């Protein structure tokens, strides 16, 4: 081969290598894009809901407040709303029999009575007046309005019958059907009715779990890493410990769920389905990951810094605490955040400790029953109603969003605290 | 001349491998003692025995006796931290802490509680930097990171750090190996000045440096101390044939 040929061969090899790299990245980006596209296109409608403008007559007689001159909030709260709400719902459209009456009422969400009541509590002036209120529509009407239900299939295979479609068209024409930001999705707990189900419970549950996981795993992992890296003698015992830690990091997460089930619920009797148990279980799972990250960043601190400190008469503990640990901070912090992000997306262990329960109330303390974001995704993806499909995707969007925030935080922490030496 | 450090029968093993063989060597008080020899002959190993820096290395085992002021530093009753307060060290590669220049110097006095108050600490920092001939260059930027200085300045900062706790002995392991001739000259002058206050032991690869700064020189070869003499005698008229060959550049 001549010089020229060799040069040409080298150039083509380099070009091929670069193309292969670009191709690999392009494929990866394509799949991420596909995932995001799918999730966003189905999920974005979950953030809005459909409402029906309904006339409500806050008649004092119907409310049984006729004898009270100036009713206060307490009295309004304990008033009788049945007739008012019934009249409002059935007044949406004229009907001729009991069957049709039910059809009309079913156009509103299961929560419409509460919505009417809350309206009056927030606007006591409306007492005795007729007002127009935008009430949340039922899941079926919501899905129809969002275009997820085809209308051209036979009536018996449709969720809405011809009479109801007729009402819908009528209301739409009158401009009474609106699409507004959904106050339910982000701010309320789970529900059997998709139109009023929300992720607030799952978000708070995840938040509590992650905080508990952080409180438990960071100090323990840092101490373990510092001891193993800086103080422990290098012998067969520490070798075995090291192998075991690496092994634990690779153990399937469901095993930690079994451990949580057996130990935390079984032996210690902690309350089941709670973020407390979830957080402890997740910390068992993330400990090895964080220990490994902390050890790697401690190892990356140059030995010359340790020698410098020891040579001016710093003790071993002073050397480690004043110099090594602060210098390893960027690595330990970002390792911890990445471990927590992993815990945030974890489902299997939480299923085992009962965080898969159907919880309507948003938890206010870690010992309240709750779910978490990934478990909520799992729960909703199993549900039959069409309305949960968009909720599932929207929850995935939220989870991805939180993961992006945490991973950016990890990058930021690394850069912020990075020191040159 | 009084001997500050007396090493008797010092042998060092790194695991199975013996790095020093039965070394006897004395370091005279308030003088500069140079250790020379080809690479890998155990100069650093010997120097690190003097402040028990080898304790850090798990596989390193030291036997023999090293006395400082008549006290065996390998005795069980000796506290390593107190020993290193008395025996400071400057390393081959400058290793300032990634902290401010001020903190680099104040760290030692701080952990040993030497400074009475903030003013006293300022004084110690200023004096140490002056002794290390660095004060004029850094006095306006004491809160800048020590790692932002030039290599020669960093090494002088490390010398300032070593003398900040007022040690009795300063060990220097090739302190000029990373420096240009001008910085080297500065540090050599510095060593000459420091010897009125401290006992100094220095490892160097430069024969001329040993000749310039030291009063005594030990020549090591393959872990053995081949010859120990006054610098004058060792360079002009060595007793040993091997020393003769080494200083004239015939091997090593
Ligand atoms: N940490 C260590 N572990 C194992 N062996 C070591 C260690 N440090 C030094 N040695 C060995 O001990 C011997 C002496 O090393 P030492 O560093 O004292 O040499 P030196 O004279 O300082 O060399 P140089 O001039 O190149 O710095 C060498 O053979 C080296 O391989
Ligand atoms: Mg050396």
Rounded to a whole number of angstroms, the distance from the CA of B215 to the nearest CA of chain A is 25
Which residue blocks in A128-182 are alpha helix, DSSP H? 139-145, 162-173
pLDDT at A139: 92
- Residue A311 touches partner B, C-beta closer than 8 Å: yes
Q: Is the pLDDT of residue B166 over 70?
A: yes
Task: Please report how the helices A275-299 and A236-250 are oriented relative to each other, as an axis angle in degrees rounded to 10.
Answer: 130
CB atoms within 10 A of CB A241: 15
CB contact under 8 A, A308 and B161: yes
Closest ligand 1 atom, CA of B59? 3
pLDDT tens, residue order, chain A (421 aa): 789 999 999 999 999 999 999 999 999 999 999 999 999 999 999 999 999 999 999 988 888 888 877 888 888 888 889 999 999 999 999 999 999 999 999 999 989 999 999 999 999 888 888 999 999 999 999 999 998 888 888 888 888 899 999 999 999 999 999 999 999 999 999 999 999 999 999 999 999 999 999 999 999 999 999 999 999 988 899 999 999 999 999 999 999 999 999 999 999 999 999 999 999 999 999 999 999 999 999 999 999 999 999 999 999 999 999 999 999 999 999 999 999 999 999 999 999 999 988 999 999 999 999 999 999 999 999 998 889 999 999 999 999 999 999 999 999 988 887 765 4
Residue (of B89, B92, B81) closest to B201 by Cα position: B89
Closest CA to B53 of B92, B25, B104, B96: B92
B39 lines ligand 1 (CB under 6 A): yes
SS (H, E, C) B7-66: EEEEEEEECCEEEEEEEEEEEECCCEEEEECCCCCCHHHHHHHCCCHHHHCCCEEEEEEE
- For residues B10 and B64, what is the distance between their CA atoms, to the nearest angstrom? 4
Strand B3-14, strand A177-181: pairing: unpaired
Q: What percent of chain B has pLDDT over 70?
A: 99
> Is the distance from CB of B147 to CB of B98 less than 8 angstroms?
yes
pLDDT at site B251: 67
- Across the range B155-175, mean pLDDT stands at 94
The predicted complex's ipTM stands at: 0.91
Q: CA-nearest residue of chain A to B149? A: A421
Tell which residue, B48, B65, B37, has the closest CA to residue B14.
B48
Question: How many angstroms separate the Cα of B34 from the Cα of each of A98, A395, B45?
Answer: 110, 72, 14
- Residue A169 structure tokens: 């068209």
- Please state the φ and ψ torsions of residue B115, each to the nearest 5 degrees: -80, 135
| Measured distance CA(B179)–CA(B183) in Å, rounded | 6
Q: Where are the domains of chain B?
A: 3-96+169-247
In chain B, which residues have their Cβ closer than 8 Å to the Cβ of A302?
95
* Cβ of B14 below 6 Å from ligand 1: yes
- B1's CB contacts (< 8 A; 6+ apart) are B28, B29, B31
Q: Is B47 in the pocket of ligand 1 (CB under 6 A)?
A: no
pLDDT at residue A199, as a whole number: 95
pLDDT digits (tens, 9 = 90+) for B175-211: 988 778 888 898 899 899 999 999 999 999 999 999 9
B161 → closest Cβ in A312, A322, A327? A312
Alpha helices, H only, chain B: 43-49, 80-86, 101-111, 118-131, 135-138, 151-163, 181-194, 207-213, 231-236, 241-247
Q: What is the pLDDT of residues B198-247, one digit of tens each?
A: 999 999 999 999 999 999 999 999 999 999 999 999 999 999 999 999 98
Q: Which of A59, A208, A35, A188 is nearest to A127 (CA)?
A: A59
Distance B174 CA to ligand 1 centre (A): 13
CB A275 within 8 A of CB A366: yes
CATH class of the domain at B3-96+169-247: alpha beta
The edge-to-edge listing of strands for the beta sheet with A48-57 is A130-136, A48-57, A177-181
Alpha-carbon distance of A230 to A77, in angstroms, equals 65
Residue B81's Cβ-count burial label (10 Å; 0-12, 13-18, 19+) is middle
pLDDT tens for residues B68-110?
Answer: 999 999 999 999 999 999 999 999 899 999 999 999 999 999 9
Residue B11 alpha carbon to ligand 1 centre in Å: 13
How far apart, in whole angstroms, are the C-alpha atoms of residue A314 and residue A413? 28
CA distance A311 to B84: 6
DSSP state of A170: H
pTM given for the model: 0.85
Task: Give the 3-state secondary structure of residue B143.
Answer: coil
**Encoded tokens for A327:** 């210098």
Q: What is the pLDDT of residue B177?
A: 85
Q: Are A311 and B107 in contact (CB < 8 Å)?
A: no
The 3-state DSSP class for residue B133 equals: coil
Angle at A421 between CA B189 and CA A301, to 5 degrees: 120
Cβ count near A313 (within 10 Å): 24
Instruction: Give the pLDDT of residue B86.
Output: 94
Q: Are A237 and A329 in contact (CB under 8 A)?
A: no
Looking at residue A379, its pLDDT comes to 94
Whether A222 and A326 have beta carbons less than 8 Å apart is answered as no
Cβ of residue B164 lying under 6 Å from some atom of ligand 1: no
Query: Contact B37/B219 with Cβ under 8 angstroms?
Result: yes
Q: Which two tokens stand for residue B149?
A: 């200085």
Domains and CATH numbers, chain A: 51-183 (no CATH), 200-416 (1.10.3720.10)
CA distances to A269, A297, A410 from A226, rounded to whole Å, are: 32, 10, 20
Ligand nearest to the CA of B218: 1
* Alpha-carbon span B170 to B191, nearest angstrom: 10
Radius of gyration of chain B (CA): 18
CA nearest to A259, candidates A139, A372, A350 = A350
Point out the residue among B58, B81, B147 whose CB comes nearest to the CB of A234: B58
CA A411 to chain centroid: 22
Q: Which residues of A touch B81 (CB under 8 A)?
A: 313-315
Rounded distance, CA A299 to CA A404, Å?
28
Rounded to an integer, what distance in angstroms lies between the CA atom of residue A386 and that of residue A143? Answer: 7
Which tokens hold the place of A373?
A: 């974001």
Show residues of chain B in contact with A304, CB under 8 Å: 91, 93, 95
Which has the closest alpha carbon to A386: A194, A200, A208?
A194
């Amino acid at each position: 081969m001549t010089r020229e040929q060799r040069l040409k061969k080298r150039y083509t090899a380099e070009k091929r290598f670069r193309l292969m790299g670009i191709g690999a990245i392009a494929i990866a980006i394509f799949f991420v894009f596909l995932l995001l596209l799918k999730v966003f296109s189905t999920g974005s409608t979950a953030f809005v809901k459909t409402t029906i403008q309904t006339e409500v007559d806050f008649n004092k007689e119907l409310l049984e407040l006729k004898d009270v001159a100036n009713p206060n909030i307490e009295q309004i709260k304990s008033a009788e709303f049945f007739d008012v709400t019934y009249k409002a719902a059935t007044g949406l459209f004229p009907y001729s029999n009991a069957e049709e009456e039910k059809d009309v009422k079913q156009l509103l969400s299961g929560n419409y009575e509460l919505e009417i009541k809350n309206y009056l509590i927030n606007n006591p002036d409306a007492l005795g007046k007729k007002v127009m209120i935008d009430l949340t529509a039922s899941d079926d009407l919501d899905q129809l309005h969002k275009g997820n239900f085809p209308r051209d299939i036979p009536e018996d295979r449709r969720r809405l019958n011809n009479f109801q479609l007729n009402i819908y068209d009528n209301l739409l024409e009158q401009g009474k059907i609106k699409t507004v930001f959904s106050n339910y999705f982000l701010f309320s707990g789970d529900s059997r009715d998709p139109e009023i189900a929300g992720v607030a419970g799952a978000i708070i549950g995840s938040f509590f779990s992650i905080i508990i996981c952080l409180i438990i795993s960071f100090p323990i992992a840092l101490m373990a890493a510092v001891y193993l890296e800086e103080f422990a003698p290098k012998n067969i015992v520490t070798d075995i410990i090291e192998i075991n830690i690496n092994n634990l990091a690779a153990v399937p997460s469901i095993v930690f769920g079994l451990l949580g089930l057996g130990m935390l619920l079984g032996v210690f009797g902690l309350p089941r389905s709670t973020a407390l148990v979830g957080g402890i279980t997740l910390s068992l799972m993330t400990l090895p990951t964080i220990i490994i990250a902390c050890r790697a960043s401690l190892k990356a601190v140059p030995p010359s810094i340790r020698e410098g400190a020891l040579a001016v008469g710093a003790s071993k503990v002073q050397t480690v605490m004043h110099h090594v640990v602060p210098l390893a901070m960027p690595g330990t912090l970002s390792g911890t955040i990445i471990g927590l992000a992993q815990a945030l997306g974890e489902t299997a262990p939480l299923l085992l400790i009962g965080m898969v329960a159907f919880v309507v109330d948003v938890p206010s303390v870690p010992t309240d029953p709750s779910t978490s974001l990934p478990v909520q995704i799992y729960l909703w993806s199993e549900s039959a109603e069409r309305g949960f499909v968009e909720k599932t995707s929207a929850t995935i969007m939220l989870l991805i969003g939180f993961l992006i925030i945490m991973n950016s935080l990890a990058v930021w922490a690394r850069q912020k605290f990075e020191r040159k030496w | 001349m009084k001997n500050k450090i007396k090493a008797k029968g010092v042998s060092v093993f790194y695991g199975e491998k013996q790095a020093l063989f039965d070394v006897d060597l004395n370091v005279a008080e308030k003088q500069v003692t140079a250790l020379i020899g080809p690479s890998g002959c155990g100069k650093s190993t010997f120097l690190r025995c003097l402040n028990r820096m080898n304790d850090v290395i798990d596989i390193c085992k030291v036997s023999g006796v090293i006395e400082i002021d008549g006290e065996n530093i390998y005795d069980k009753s000796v506290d390593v931290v107190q020993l290193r307060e008395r025996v400071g060290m400057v390393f081959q590669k400058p290793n300032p802490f990634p902290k401010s220049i001020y903190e680099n110097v104040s760290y030692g006095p701080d952990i040993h509680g030497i400074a009475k108050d903030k003013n006293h600490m300022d004084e110690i920092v200023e004096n140490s930097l002056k002794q290390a001939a660095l004060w004029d260059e850094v006095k306006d930027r004491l809160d800048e990171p020590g790692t932002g200085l030039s290599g020669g300045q960093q090494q002088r900062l490390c010398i300032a750090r070593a003398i900040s706790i007022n040690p009795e002995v300063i060990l220097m392991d090739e302190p000029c190996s990373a420096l240009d001739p001008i910085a080297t000259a500065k540090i050599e002058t510095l060593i000459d000045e420091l010897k009125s206050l401290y006992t100094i032991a220095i490892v160097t690869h430069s024969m001329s440096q040993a000749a310039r700064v030291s009063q005594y020189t030990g020549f090591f070869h393959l872990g053995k101390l081949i010859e120990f003499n006054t610098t004058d005698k060792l360079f002009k008229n060595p007793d040993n044939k091997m020393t003769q060959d080494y200083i004239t550049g015939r091997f090593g």
